[in-house]
Structure 1
């Protein structure tokens, strides 16, 4: 069982340089503490997962090209999360629209090698199991 994750939660990517907020659309969602709750399927870049400032992964083609142009000096480029699969693990028992609820401790992976993890779930009193 973990704390429910709602709009306004904060996340960080292991290759990002700044934290980012998570956003979950209100319909047809469950509201927790007045904000839409997330599910493991909420991974859309720029909609659910906002950019993490600059990306430092050499697996990101724009970072690799900029680093090459700088004669091998790592050159971060703007982040656009490219989430490769759902958040995991989700809640064991709590579902929203037939999908497991997103809870603290869940992570997802960026196609460029980063691991995205939550630093704050946004919910204060509500847990999901």
Structure 2
């Protein structure tokens, strides 16, 4: 993605340091700001509607719980506790001087902290991803 952070739009790919699967950020309703024709995101876009689960969770905090089985990105059958993001605070490191719906815009440097010790970060900005 280069050295410069890019604005994040709906459909950008995210990953979690404790998760097994990448997911796309969702935005049910646009804030009215766009980059390359795609809706931009802001620091308050961290609800379960925006940030889904990331497959299985490798956090030690999830040990001893329910086990489910999924196919990983290489086609292997893997098992472990299901990811259930528990997020209490907005995105960290947004672009303070760029507003989306009067709130700081998300960039590829923005990240979330999950209560299960995971860090959710952007793998792509979504600007040039196909929908």
- Shorter-chain TM-score: which interval? 0.7 to 0.9
- Structure 2 counterpart SS, 1:2: coil
d(CA) in 1 for partners of 2:30, 2:12: 18
Bigger proportion of residues as helix:
1
The answer (yes or no) to whether the contact 1:54–1:78 under 8 Å persists in 2 is: yes
Q: Helix, strand or coil for the counterpart of 1:94? A: strand
1:6 equivalenced with 2:28 (yes/no): no
Give the one of 34, 39, 50 matched to 2:37. Answer: 34
* Higher mean C-alpha deviation, range 23-32 or range 89-98: 23-32
Which 5+ residue runs of structure 1 have no aligned equivalent?
68-74, 125-129
2:91 is aligned to 87
Relative to structure 1, the CA distance from residue 77 to residue 29 in structure 2 (aligned partners, 3 Å threshold; closer, same or farther) is: farther
What aligned pairs does 1:14-93 form with structure 2 within 5 A after superposition?
A: 14-45=17-48, 47-60=49-62, 63-66=63-66, 76-93=80-97
Give the distance between the partners of 2:65 and 2:53, measured in 1 at CA: 19
Q: In the aligned structure 1, how far is the partner of 2:117 from the partner of 2:32?
A: 30
* Structure 1 or 2: more strand by fraction: 1
- What 5-or-longer segments of structure 2 have no aligned partner? 68-78
Give structure 1 regions of 4+ aligned residues with deviation exceeding 2 angstroms.
25-29, 63-67
Q: Which residue of 2 aligns with 1:108?
A: 112
Aligned pairs, number? 114
TM-score by length of 2: 0.78
User: Considering only aligned residues, what root-mean-square deviation do their CA atoms show, in Å?
Assistant: 1.8
